[in-house]
Amino acid sequence: MDDVQNYQDERRIPIDQVGVSDLRYPIVVLDRDQGKQHTIASLKMSVSLPHHFKGTHMSRFLEAINDHRGEITMRTLPIILRDLQTRLEAESARIEVAFPYFLERAAPVSEAKGLMDYNCTFVGEVNGDQEDFILCVQVPVTTLCPCSKTISDYGAHNQRGYVGIEVRSIRTESGNPELIWIEELIAIAEQSGSAPVYPLLKRADERHVTMQAYDNPVFVEDLIRNVAGRLQHDSRVAWFRLHVENHESIHNHNVFARIEWARQ
């Protein structure tokens, strides 16, 4: 049968990325406390396409992920990416693995337990001999407005904030990125807001969280600076990008802040 994808293309226009997206697939990721965690990911996989090829072989993306259906982490993504490079004769390859990550969280007073989900993404890329890996985590937090607290006779308005953290870690002597746990980034985000968000709260817990937030008011600017400062003091962090957004409770708009930083 003719291999149409390998036909010559006369337009001489290379394509930066071509591939498959919204591929739902069961994966296994590292869990700091349990060793491993099974979850379901949405995958986007792509390669570069030279100007002289008419198309890429989409089925080979599925073949590659089927051959590596076990653990997907910073340790294994480069192997999968190199496999894609070879199978598709590409200079560069990229994978985005988006998945929910679950942690059992205990309420602060009653210690009632429930599962909390966090949106996470692994982004891996190879270009020639260069490798890249970014860990992305989105963490919900409670924020309480310092201005509202200062100007009000009693009470203060609060809102749900979302802390988006993207991190590159430094490379070890062996060339592998230093391990930064998802749980560590979650903790940094929660420590930087007015109070954490919990899956299950009893009345005593609600009282505790409400007063905790009142005692720790933060603007969106405070929140993002708190996160940035903690990451800058972590010697494993080579680069980060932060996007923090508050879903305002008394305004008809949201507020946000962004910071990008690289270790010199």
CB of 63 within 8 A of CB of 48? Answer: no
* Per-residue pLDDT tens over the stretch 220-244: 999 999 999 999 999 999 999 999 9
pLDDT of amino acid 11: 74
Q: What is the pLDDT of residues 197-210, one digit of tens each?
A: 999 999 999 999 99
Which pLDDT band, with edges at 50, 70 and 90, does 59 fall under? confident
For residues 142-166, average pLDDT: 96
Categorize the per-residue pLDDT at 55 as very low, low, confident or very high, splitting at 50, 70 and 90: low
- pTM, whole model, 2 decimals? 0.92
Q: Are 39 and 100 in contact (CB under 8 A)?
A: yes
Q: CB of 77 within 8 A of CB of 43?
A: no
Give the residue with greater pLDDT, 129 vs 97: 97
Domains by residue range for the chain, with CATH: 1-96 (3.10.270.10), 129-264 (3.10.270.10)
φ and ψ of 75, to 5 deg: -80, -30
What average pLDDT score do residues 59-85 get? 85
Indicate the average pLDDT of the chain.
Answer: 92
- In this structure, which amino acid lies at residue 222? D
